[in-house]
Structure 1
Amino acid sequence: MKSLQASIFCLLYVAVCRVLAIYMPVREYAGTSFFDRWDFYGFYDNTTWGNVTYQDRANATSKQLAYINGAGNAIIKVDNTTNIAPAILVYRNSIRLTSQDTYDVGSLIIIDALHIPYGCSVWPSFWTLGAGKEWPLAGEIDHMGNNQVALHSTPGCFQAQGVIQSGHTIEGDCSTDRGCIVGEAKPNSFGSGFAQAGGGVFALQMDVAGIFTWFFSRSDIPDDIKNANSSGPVDTSKWGMPSSTYPATACNITQFFGPQQLILLTTLCGVWAGEPGNYAQTCQGNCVADNIIGPGSPKYDNAFWEIQYIRTYLVDSQVQALPAASSASDIPSSTSTITTPPSSTAQGSDSSAPDASSTGNVRPSSWAVPRGIPRIEFLMTVVGVGALVLI
């Protein structure tokens, strides 16, 4: 049945069939080595102005915010043990990871997660950002963002009209502040529903013919992905209709999107989760006063990622090693494996001020709640496609 759906899809939209292909594995982030090729962004949230302090590798480990659990899965969480006292500006500790590898057109990215952070004030994100250039000169791909996918680019990139996709188009111009957005139509792709369904798989393919994303709930994961391992290929022609489709007929992919770094984070409040219109859709009260301040549990007990793996692939003919990314926005860190499971020891109360041991955490004295923000990155992305950058 799934093969028939794929065949019908190809007949309806020939351009897409150009990218339905076999991909060979290049990198797996999983198990005890999951964190080895990521930089911890030991800084404040300088993109969406959330009420978080992103921890460096040492603090993330000692505070048990990033570790490998007994099942061998990566846990990446928001601090839920600290009782934060009221203050003019308050921040709760969280994690932002940036991949040391970069991925260009021709890549495929798959993430298998059992749990994605959710709750009032919580905004998780898995996305990609063009490396080495000022935003958005090398593009941005937001995948897994509050039931939406979005591309960001310089002027001239659009989502073509009448595309074949299961999601619904919200915005077609990729150069707007919001980007060109497609809403995910499948259930259980976010929040508590995602966790209750046992999680699922997100995939992103970036090809010269276009950018395409898929979401599969746990019970709907194609056998091609379900039966794959870290050394075997996958065939996107067996996956059926994409959740979002951005064909190159309206956006020259190689012109607007350069090599991408993967970014995974959880922020709190700020200009997305804390925006009154967004916050009021599912929560009551004030984002900061009723969530950030006070004890972290039970409010942030579900604000964690549990990831089985992230796998990256290239079209068979393109598998090769390239230089790793060099990004001034990331603070270098060691690549020691983090395998410490959580203990029951709670942290003492504090105001979640920047850690003295992390020099990058000191905020400018002029920093204030967002007003006239020079640049806001929409969230949630996974990239796909291109020559992977490995060392």
Structure 2
Amino acid sequence: MKSAALLAAAVLSPTALASYSLVQEFQGANFFDGWVFYGNYDNTTDGDVTYLNKSAATADKLAYVTSGGQAVIKVDNTSDVVYNDKRDSVRITTADYYPAGSVILFDATHLPYGCSVWPGFWTKGENWPEGGEIDIVEGINGMTANQMALHSENGCSASSSATASGSIGTTNCSEAAGCTYTETKANSYGAGFAAAGGGVWATLFASTGIEIWFWSRSDIPSSISNATTSISTDDWGTPSASYPASSCDIETYFKPQQIVLDITLCGDWAGLDTIYPETCPISGGGAANASSCYLQNVINQGNQTALATAYFEINYLKVFNSNETLVTSGGASSSVAAASATSEASASASTSSTSNSSSSGAGTVRVWGVGVSVTLVALSAWMLL
């Protein structure tokens, strides 16, 4: 009876499978191998940016690796932008997909923040938005706490009875804002995050549920600090956000996910005239309007104070899982050996300089670990679409 009870608990818990093997990592000089640069205007949040392709982003130093090995993604803060034009930025999407049963680690020392700035570290299904979206890191303007969310078609919701340390917000995942949690731990976003040396997010994407953890630099568990070829969830504690399958059927609403990093400006959230003035002053003390964010931050030389902090500085992003399986868009699957992001460089290079969309078109869709996988991303102190 005791063993049967333990087995039942294991089946119900998203973190029941506590050990995962590394299948892919983005780190150091090869960080940008295995990504597709979007190369077009902001088509998801109506932001006032143009996302550059790989060659332009590299030439303009909006995507590069520092001498210390940190990857930087940033908004242009040197150009004089004329009225009605947009400011250059970067959005990158992994060429590969990661199925339910994945863990993602993200380690960063700096996140983009400031008036008009709207970064995101998130995942999406191939047929977005039908394949679901997981927002792991997101904030706007002068926010000081990270917001996490799921976005799905109608039928998925967050449960107020789920065990999580974050503050639950909206619960209907099909609403525009998604079903949200706000981080309650200190230094999860903005200047506080950078001053604390950054931190790490871990995201478990499993058929039994989706969970997100955050640790400031001084609180990172040893299982993450010491992780090389495998990782255990045993010492992770209570997640900041928890979406159990009991209130959202993960297998129905969330298909294999690509990882996305981007930074936009203004747009449908940061630029709203009802939202922008909450943390950003209006020039001259007047009332905010639909153009306030754009006029104060994007055109001419822009808001140099905000643009100077509009960048990601990332130590690493790692994906762990329990299986190694290749899945094509036609549904066929086969076993493949675990590989680092470096091995995907040729596939990315062939499309990154000319792509004007994500890599979710027809053809082969590589999906790692059809089982339970974990992706970890480490961000150093630092920026989104």
TM class by smaller structure? 0.7 to 0.9
Deviations 1:272-331 (A, max 9, x none): 11112321121112211111112253441111111010000102xx23344489xxxxxx
How far apart are the structure 1 equivalents of 2:215 and 2:355? Answer: 41
Contact 2:100–2:372 (Cα < 8 Å) also in 1: yes
The residue aligned with 1:273 is 270
1:243-288 alpha-carbon deviations (Å, 9 max, x no partner): 0111111111111110111110000001111112321121112211
Once the two structures are superposed, residues 123-157 of structure 1 have per-residue CA deviations (whole angstroms, 9 ceiling, x without a partner) of 000111111x2x33211111111221111111211
Counterpart for residue 88 of structure 2? 93
Report if aligned partners of 1:79, 1:94 keep a CA contact under 8 Å in 2: yes
Q: Does 1:306 find its partner at 2:313?
A: yes
Alignment pair present for 1:142 and 2:142: no
Distance across 2 between alignment mates of 1:239 and 1:277: 38
Pairs aligned (count): 325
Counterpart of 1:206 in structure 2 is 205
Please report how far the alpha carbon of residue 359 of structure 1 lies from its aligned counterpart in structure 2 after TM superposition: 8.9
1:104 correspondence with 2:99: yes
Q: Which runs of 5+ in 1 are unaligned?
A: 1-11, 326-331, 339-356, 362-383
Residue of 75, 80, 83 corresponding to 1:78: 75
- String of CA shifts for 1:346-368, please: whole Å, max 9, x gaps: xxxxxxxxxxx97959xxxxxxx
Residue 270 of structure 2 aligns to a residue in which SS?
Answer: coil
Alignment of 1:28-67 (within 5 A): 28-67=25-64
Q: TM-score, normalised by structure 2?
A: 0.78
What residue is the counterpart of 2:324 in the other structure? 319
C-alpha change, 1:262 and 1:244, in structure 2 (3 Å) is same
Letter paired with 1:138: G
Alignment of 1:274-289 (within 5 A): 274-285=271-282, 286-289=292-295
Q: Secondary structure at the match of 1:193?
A: helix
Q: Secondary structure at the match of 1:158?
A: coil
One-letter identity of the residue aligned with 2:38: Y
What fraction of aligned residue pairs are identical, expressed as a percent?
Answer: 45
Q: Is 1:119 aligned to residue 139 of structure 2?
A: no
* Residue 299 of structure 2: aligned partner: 293
Matched, 1:255 2:261: no
SS of residue in 2 equivalent to 1:211: strand
SS of the equivalent of 2:325 reads: coil
Partner of 1:151: 150
Q: Distance in 2 between matches of 1:276 and 1:13?
A: 47
Task: Give the letter for the 2:98 counterpart.
Answer: Y
Separation in 2, partners of 1:249, 1:74: 38
Q: TM-score if structure 1 supplies the norm length?
A: 0.77
Give the RMSD, CA atoms, in angstroms.
Answer: 2.8
* Residue of structure 2 in register with 1:335 after alignment: 349
**How far does residue 56 in structure 1 lie from its aligned partner after superposition?**
0.3
What is the rounded CA distance, in whole Å, between the counterparts of 2:279 and 2:74 in structure 1?
21
1:148 and 1:251 map into 2 onto residues whose CA distance is 19
Residue type of the alignment partner of 1:256: Y
Q: Quick one: structure 1 residues 360 and 206, their matched pair in 2 at CA, closer, same or farther if it must change by over 3 Å?
A: closer
Shift of 1:161: 2.9
Counterpart of 1:143 in structure 2: which amino acid? Answer: I
Q: Secondary structure at the match of 1:76?
A: strand
Residue by residue over 1:214-248, the C-alpha shift from the partner in whole angstroms, topping out at 9 and shown as x without a partner, is: 0110001001101112x2x1111210000011111
Aligned equivalents of 2:247, 2:35: Cα separation in 1: 33
User: What corresponds to 1:374 in structure 2?
Assistant: none
Please give the alpha-carbon distance, in whole angstroms, between the structure 1 residues aligned to 2:67 and 2:329.
31
The aligned counterpart of 1:166 is 165
In the alignment, the residues of structure 1 paired with residue 103 and residue 18 of structure 2 have an alpha-carbon distance, to the nearest angstrom, of: 10
Distance 2:89 2:347 in 1: 17
How has the CA–CA distance of structure 1 residues 23 and 287 changed in structure 2, closer, same or farther, with 3 Å as cutoff?
same
- In structure 2, distance between residues paired with 1:291 and 1:48: 17
Shift of 1:385: 8.4
1:342 matched residue in structure 2: none
Q: Given the superposition, is the C-alpha separation of residues 358 and 138 from structure 1 closer, same or farther in structure 2, using an over 3 Å criterion?
A: closer
- Please list every run of at least 4 consecutive aligned residues from structure 1 whose deviation after the TM superposition is greater than 2 angstroms: 12-20, 296-299, 319-325, 332-336, 357-361, 384-388
Instruction: Quote the Cα distance in structure 1 between the aligned partners of 2:23 and 2:237.
Output: 23
Distance 2:26 2:105 in 1: 10
Summarize the Cα distance change of 1:98–1:359 in structure 2 as closer, same or farther, 3 Å threshold.
closer
Give the Cα separation in 1 of the matches to 2:173 and 2:186. 25
Q: Does 170-179 or 95-104 show the bigger shift?
A: 170-179
Match for residue 244 of structure 1 among 241, 246, 262 = 241
Q: 1:280 and 1:200 mapped to 2: Cα distance? A: 28
Checking the alignment, whether the CA contact within 8 Å between 1:126 and 1:265 is kept in structure 2 is yes
Q: State the Cα distance separating 1:19 from its structure 2 match.
A: 3.1
One-letter amino acid of the structure 2 residue matched with residue 206 of structure 1: F
Aligned to 1:345: none
